[in-house]
Chain A
Amino acid sequence: DAKTTQPPSMDCAEGRAANLPCNHSTISGNEYVYWYRQIHSQGPQYIIHGLKNNETNEMASLIITEDRKSSTLILPHATLRDTAVYYCIVSFNTDKLIFGTGTRLQVFP
């Protein structure tokens, strides 16, 4: 079973920031938070991951709360191509990722 809870769906206007929340209240001290997304029927795509500190890359930012029980993925300027299902995954490593149901993000013009 997935160790994370995400809202089933969210909407975002094109050009605005998309903030996708994730709860992982049972996370262990050395478990990472990973974010992947699946655009339509393509293969999952890695976005970002973090342990304790906030992380940023060319795709997104990951904000992890101090108690590590929740996190937020931020797409700073959402585009129509960001419409996808976003998965928040908690794991010690990438050996065996457990995908939950994710959040379906719809970016509208």
Chain B
Amino acid sequence: EAGVTQFPSHSVIEKGQTVTLRCDPISGHDNLYWYRRVMGKEIKFLLHFVKESKQDESGMPNNRFLAERTGGTYSTLKVQPAELEDSGVYFCASSQDRGTGELFFGEGSRLTVL
């Protein structure tokens, strides 16, 4: 069974450009999460989807970030326009059950903004 896959693994863009990160959760997992670690900081929660609905987006840093999960399958996270402080690793995770189940994380998408 395939795990959580993320694309691209690494993206290098210039300040002001747009980047879209994609996450394919494990098949059948209704819950999808985005986390990120910026340089030198801790891993931080961004948002949580249940199917196609945003359950909690309290961790989204500002309106330059837009997450979607149309159809309740894969998700995209768009950063527009990117700023230097957006550099970091963006992790996606999925789970079958809400509550006390295990989260399965992808390998992350490293974003470098120059």
Contacts and interface: CB of A to CB of B under 8 A. Distances in A.
Interface of A: 2, 32, 36, 38, 41-46, 49, 87, 93-101
B1 interface: no
B90 to A, nearest CB: 10
Contact of A43 (B95, B98, B108): B108
Given A94-B99, A94-B102, 14 more contacts: A41-B89, A41-B110, A43-B105, A43-B108, A44-B43, A44-B91, A45-B105, A49-B100, A87-B43, A93-B99, A95-B98, A97-B103, A99-B42, A100-B42
B71 interface: no
Interface string B37-60: 000001111001000000110110
B83 interface: no
B65 interface: no
Query: Chain A's interface: helix, strand, loop or mixed, by majority?
Result: loop
A38 B106 CA distance: 11
Residue of A42, A44, A45, A46 most packed against chain B (CB within 10 A)? A44
A97 to B, nearest CB: 7
Interface of B: 4, 31, 35, 42-45, 48, 55-56, 58-59, 89, 91, 93, 95, 98-108, 110
A94 B91 contact: no
Contacts of B103: 36, 44, 46, 94, 97
Residue of A43, A87, A94, A100 most packed against chain B (CB within 10 A)? A43
Contacts of A100: 42
Cβ-closest 9 pairs across A and B: A43-B105, A99-B43, A46-B102, A93-B99, A44-B105, A96-B45, A43-B107, A43-B106, A43-B91
B48 A93 contact: no
A101 B42 contact: yes
Contacts of B48: 95-96
